[in-house]
Amino acid sequence: MNEKRKPGLLIVDDDNQVLKSLKIWLKNEGYRPSIASNGDEALKVLEEVTVDVALVDFRLGKEDGIGVAQQLKKADEMIKIIMLTGFPSYETAVKAMKMGIFDYISKGSSNEKILDAIQKAIAEREREREGMLKEQEILEENQVRLILFCNHSLLKERLENFSRSRPGFKLVKSFSSLQSVQFKQFSQQIDIALICAGCTLKNITDAYSFFSELYRAFPDIKPVIINENFSDKEKVELLKLGVRGFNSRDLSSEKLEKSLLRTKKGEICVSQNVINLSLQDLANYRSTHVIKDKERFGLTDRELDILKTMVMGLKNKEIGEKLFISEKTVKTHINKIFKKLGVNTRTKAILTAVEKQIV
C-alpha cells in the first residue's frame, strides 16, 4: 500500500519504550504511526502529517492525557482519540467519554482488542468525512457562483462581504473590465455575472459588444446589471441581449439575495412596467417583423419558440422544461436553427435573432 494512503496514527506516551514498541508493531500491521512524548510534540505532529487516530496515554507525566486529547481535538475536530491507561477505572472511562474520547481501553488489552478499536475509529472517521464531503457537494451544487465587473471599491467590498456572509453564494472573482478576464482560469461553472453599469455599460451601444464577448466566454451565464440608470425602454433592449435583471446600488442584502436566487432558477427580475413594455415590443415585432423574418430564414414555429428562450438565456434543460420537450429534442432544434441562421454558436444565433428582429 502507498505510504500516504495508509491510515495515520499518533502514539502519545511519556514512556519511550512503549512508544518504540507500539510504533514497530503498528507499522507492521499496515499503519503509518508517528510518536510524541507530550502534548506539544503531539500538536507539532498534527501540523506535519495527517492523523486519523491518536492513542493517548491517560497519564503523561505532569500532563493530563484528557487535556492533551482535547488539544488534539481542537486542532483537528475529526481526529479520533483512543485513551490508553495502565490503571483502568469506571470513573475515568466515563470522564473520557464525556470529553469526546472515541474509546478507552487498558494497555494490558490484547493486540486484537487494540486493533479492533483502531479499525472502528478509522471507520467512524471515514463515515464522518464522507458525510462532510457529501454536504459540501450539495452546498456547491446549490451554490450561486458569481463574477463581478466593477471598478468601485466600496461596491466591490460590499458584494464581497455579501458573499462571505452567505454560504449559498460565492463571489469567484472581481474584474475591472471584460478585457482583464483570463477565461482559462475558470474550472467551475459560473452562474451569474454582476455587471456594474456605471463602470462597464455607459450606454446601449457598449452593451452589444460587451455581451457578445461575455457569452463567447460564458455561453450559459445569466447577466444581472447593478448600479444602473437606464430608462425602461433601454432595459427592454438589454433584456433582448439576455440580461436577467436590474438591481440598484443601494438594494438591501436580503432583496439582493432573493433576486439572485430567482435569477439562478431562470426568472427575470424586472419591474412590471418593463415587462409591459417588453410585451408591447414583442407584439409589434410579431406584426411587423416576425412573420417576414421567420419565413426568410425558414424557421418553424417550434424553432422560433426555442430561439426566443435562447434569447432569454435559458439552458437546454430549462428550455425543455418550459416547452415540455426533451433536452435531446431541444439540441436537435438548436442545430437546425444554427444551419438556418448560418451561425455555429449559441451567441451568434442570439445576436442574429436580436439584430434581425426575429424575436
Q: What is the pLDDT of residues 153-202, one digit of tens each?
A: 888 888 888 888 887 888 888 887 776 565 555 556 788 999 988 888 87
pLDDT at 289: 44
- Tell me how far apart the alpha carbons of residues 80 and 102 are, in angstroms, rounded to a whole number: 6
- Tell me how far apart the alpha carbons of residues 185 and 195 are, in angstroms, rounded to a whole number: 19
Which cell numbers in the block locate residue 288? Answer: 411587423
Domains 3-139 and 272-359 alike in fold: no
Q: Pick from 193, 146, 143: which is nearest to 168 by CA?
A: 143
Least confident among 32-36, 251-255, 277-281 = 277-281
pLDDT at 134: 77
Q: Would you identify the CATH topology of the domain 272-359? A: Arc Repressor Mutant, subunit A (1.10.10)
- Residue range 314-323: mean pLDDT, rounded: 88
* Residues of the chain above pLDDT 90, percent: 29
Q: Would you identify the CATH topology of the domain 3-139? A: Rossmann fold (3.40.50)
pLDDT digits (tens, 9 = 90+) for 246-269: 988 777 888 888 888 888 888 888
- Residue range 262-289: mean pLDDT, rounded: 75
- Tell me how far apart the alpha carbons of residues 77 and 70 are, in angstroms, rounded to a whole number: 9
Judge whether residue 140 has pLDDT over 70.
no
Judge whether residue 336 has pLDDT over 90.
yes
- Length of the chain counted residue by residue: 359
Query: Where exactly are the structural domains of the chain?
Result: 3-139, 143-270, 272-359
pLDDT at 139: 62
Which cell numbers in the block locate residue 355? Answer: 439584430
Q: Would you identify the CATH topology of the domain 143-270? A: Rossmann fold (3.40.50)
